[in-house]
Structure 1
């Protein structure tokens, strides 16, 4: 976020990105995320419950497949055979089998795949059905861990591609865990009447150039596709912090850059989370400090620490949450060791105790270490307790693929993360989750990026839309409130979409964020009045 008038809060801009997701997009290797791109590993683990998971019978025995599917001798990951399947314009070429399992038991699913948009997952687990995906031309291993629900005696393991995309390959699919006692229904051979996608795309994907949008997309996900992300081992739902299901976040400026100056008490009532901008670095590595800007206090006719703390207490009384934002465009806090991680946690906790903050917001735009910052945040959360609020505001490029540092940080803190509000501005054009390039300032850009975030492993309730509150608040990418509301509708209900329609509906999408409450006030409170009302009306 920028501290000076009309300065972009992004220092980097990508405009000539590839027309397909980079290899890093599929790099799902993050400990504790429940989502992994494994390295090495045997083709079949002891306790594998998948029949013919390596397709070594030379047939599809044990599997029920739709569309064009067969075993091939090349390419293979190991052994003599592998699966190769080609989706059609109305078929995802799904191969699946029913496996007997035990209730309330943890299982690990993995498989080697290659090709565009290959999905591996399980359905009927009795909880959040896991699904992982990649889009690489070379062999890569996908994997996820999940726990079955009470009374579950069998699940369906599947692999599939995506509508109208090229052929994909799969090999060495394993489900590791104790076998169940149920007798699964026999699978039929390829070409049988096994379940097909719940609905077909309205038309086949467009073959337009990378700079254009697809003419249409599937209106709903195929059977077993990732309508929700896998759950990591351990707690999966962070404390709500007393927040509503759909929340509005706004940054309050502790400085004057030409926007409307505000005391914290003046922040519009629509904002559920207020991020105080910014905490700064101290002389101690990793540590942060916060001081009210004397120039702002002068312009406000006096504003003391006592006044500020009273304003935070008043916001709490109104049901709001106030976090201290770390960094901004000029922030240079470096957390890259255990010592600096501890310094960050201790200093942030001291600020929380002193001012009454509910947590922190991470907006470091000059680099972040996802390992040590995650360590610092977990330490801080353990000090604060269940009411801890953690928000993150990455630049768009930081969430462009799961290999990005910010995406890694989000996944590394998924167990305590409240919401990621990516800054969908100062970005140029970028690929959406369908591989098409969309330009900033459009519904398609927002929904295409959000789709990537959810398919990459974040829960919908941990993802929000970040936009500037006025054309003066950022260097580019401003959209009016109608565009934000349409994007929320598209993501939650599949309505009011642009040319891109996400492959699933995510009704628990968290909400929206803006830079800043001050620029919102300068723009006639358009964001808080219109987007705020829309967010709070979402079911």
Structure 2
């Protein structure tokens, strides 16, 4: 969140250097743009393991945890690869395959995205690659090579390009004569899948062992959740009172079996009933500083807001620890501040302390800083009466230790703790990103993720297509990533600026927010993107900020608030 009206856009780099990137991509090696291969003969065998990513990433290695599997878009089957370049990492996903010396091979893959590359190295002759500058729909890349006289293995690689959005790939194939010992056959599908003990956040599963299997992959609602070696697993990180569908595949060196018959299980309601947040909620950030928006007291925030996030807690000299003090410029006494918080809570509104913002420097990156974070937040909750914490760290997040910190805080604060998040759009493009991983790690105690759908430029939606910021399609297609990526609908909210002055870009009329909410919850009011299903449990919407809303006559809360509270 911004402390000044405008900020540097993440797309600024691409606008300045996009033409240079395109020129570099043309020299990145290989055969240029994609071509169409001739059909494989019936004698050809696909030598790749898990070529359609039906068994998650089994058999594949992705650099920097850049890869994951998604249920949409897929070309065939139920899964595809999605990999996200970040920093100096171009999201390379590879597999090494046994081949025969002096033999001919054809390599192909179906892809979506910009500057997607496919190639093979270690061929013993000339390494090959091919690429596409942009594929809005499924496009086939193909190339061919002949192995050297002593070559017994090659490495197949897919990768994107620096600074580009995620790419998607499916149905990768390396056809030609197999190398080495063919080994044992692919195992049969597991039988006897049964759901056992359930809690508010976990389900225990068991199944019959499969002869020849060396491991198993558990699928939750169609997406690979975890891999185990035995014939049982406990799936954790689930939302209370939620129904889930589970399947299992058996794996060995030859590949993965078909999926088992599915079993469904519903988690328990959870102790204490969870936070006192309405089914559909409006979140607003309250500014503890004056940047030109209306200066408010907590008591001034309209009743339409169900969660008020006080912005911001500040870092201290102790790693991970934070502190909070009212800005003297507001002329707001501490006693009155506490009384106003208590009054809001008595009226049914939760008030949380937000950590971070655009200039936040809080770092939680080891066990000590995680403990310091939890201790300091809990102390501030006790001092001021906050209901919980909001994570708005815009300069990176360590999912391991932030998870540890939030679980420690939960243990101190109890089941009524409210945990919200406000990641930037790019932070929720992939389940492998730190913010997304943190959200999934604490799914059983997480209240809502209100992604900032602004200050981002164009981004990929869950269908792999690029959508322009500031439209119904942008909001719905990007929220779909979270809804299909593992978060419960009740944990997904749409974050927008309250006025054009509240952000550098991405403001939309409140009517557009309402249309996106209707599209996601009812299947009406959609643009060109239409979700595969409705999500009536969607939590709601968030705005930056209540102060900018007030400066604009409270037009945002007066329009979006009643609409959120009237959702199904």
**TM-score using structure 2 length:** 0.62
1:251 paired to 2:292? no
1:4 paired to 2:4? yes
Question: Partner of 1:172 in structure 2?
Answer: 256
How far 1:240 moved relative to its partner? Answer: 3.4
Instruction: Give the one of 461, 467, 474 matched to 1:432.
Output: 461
TM-aligned CA distance change 1:156 to 1:390, over 3 Å: closer
How far 1:104 moved relative to its partner? Answer: 3.1
- In the TM superposition, 1:505-524 aligns within 5 A as 505-524=534-553
Question: Partner of 1:464 in structure 2?
Answer: 493
Please provide the CA RMSD for this pair: 4.2
How far 1:263 moved relative to its partner? Answer: 0.4
Structure 1 contact 98–157 (Cα < 8 Å) conserved: no
Structure 1 contact 238–418 (Cα < 8 Å) conserved: no
**TM-score using structure 1 length:** 0.65
TM-aligned CA distance change 1:336 to 1:236, over 3 Å: farther
Question: Partner of 2:274 in structure 1?
Answer: 240
How far 1:503 moved relative to its partner? Answer: 1.5
Q: Distance in 2 between matches of 1:74 and 1:454?
A: 40
How far 1:103 moved relative to its partner? Answer: 5.3
Instruction: Give the one of 216, 223, 248 matched to 1:132.
Output: 223
TM-aligned CA distance change 1:305 to 1:11, over 3 Å: farther
How far 1:459 moved relative to its partner? Answer: 0.9
1:104 paired to 2:104? no
Q: Distance in 2 between matches of 1:237 and 1:421?
A: 25
Question: Partner of 1:448 in structure 2?
Answer: 477
How far 1:238 moved relative to its partner? Answer: 9.7
- In the TM superposition, 1:320-339 aligns within 5 A as 320-339=349-368
Instruction: Give the one of 488, 496, 500 matched to 2:529.
Output: 500
Question: Partner of 1:285 in structure 2?
Answer: 319
Aligned partner of residue 245 in structure 1, secondary structure: coil
- In the TM superposition, 1:270-281 aligns within 5 A as 270-281=304-315
TM-aligned CA distance change 1:488 to 1:339, over 3 Å: same
Question: Partner of 1:27 in structure 2?
Answer: 68
Aligned partner of residue 367 in structure 1, secondary structure: coil
Question: Partner of 1:59 in structure 2?
Answer: none
Question: Partner of 2:403 in structure 1?
Answer: 374
Aligned partner of residue 311 in structure 1, secondary structure: helix
Q: Distance in 2 between matches of 1:79 and 1:456?
A: 35
Structure 2 contact 194–205 (Cα < 8 Å) conserved: no
Q: Distance in 2 between matches of 1:13 and 1:265?
A: 41
How far 1:403 moved relative to its partner? Answer: 1.4
Q: Distance in 1 between matches of 2:177 and 2:560?
A: 50
Q: Distance in 1 between matches of 2:9 and 2:547?
A: 16
TM-aligned CA distance change 1:329 to 1:11, over 3 Å: farther
- In the TM superposition, 1:65-464 aligns within 5 A as 100-102=192-194, 104=196, 106-107=204-205, 130-132=221-223, 171-173=255-257, 240-297=274-331, 303-464=332-493
Larger Rg: 2
Aligned partner of residue 507 in structure 2, secondary structure: coil
TM-aligned CA distance change 1:268 to 1:142, over 3 Å: farther
